[in-house]
Amino acid sequence: MKLLAERNIEINDNIIYLNLFKLFKSFLLLISDQRDLGIGNVTLGSPPVVEGIRSPTASYNLFGMNSKLLSTIIAEKASKVLEAPVLLLLFLRNREKEEDIIKPLVNFINEVLDEVRKKE
């Protein structure tokens, strides 16, 4: 397992931590508002088999249904950009309104994924 990115961003007075690991032909993406991370929502995103088709994902929510939309969006985007399966662990303890953090968080993730893709 190789650490590709370890970044954080402040959104609405909350710090969001992101760690991206390269596994064998896949990736592990950890996103949390806690420094110690956590499990939270577990979402598996797989890249499209045929170019131009939306990425299918499977969601496994271990601790409730919080941030299901956000985790699905992130897993789909990450697997499409990285062109490999991505296992996302999204752990957001602070109960912010999801719509307030989606746009800045997705923009931040896009930036990180673009940087990683250019290095690969």
Percent of the chain whose pLDDT exceeds 90: 30
Helix (H) or strand (E) holding 102: helix 98-119
Domains: count for the chain = 1
Q: pLDDT for 27-46, tens place per residue?
A: 999 999 888 887 888 888 88
- For residue 12, report the phi and psi dihedrals to the nearest 5 degrees: 50, 50
For the whole model, what pTM was predicted?
Answer: 0.84
Range(s) of the domain holding residue 106: 2-119
**CATH number for 39:** 3.30.230.100
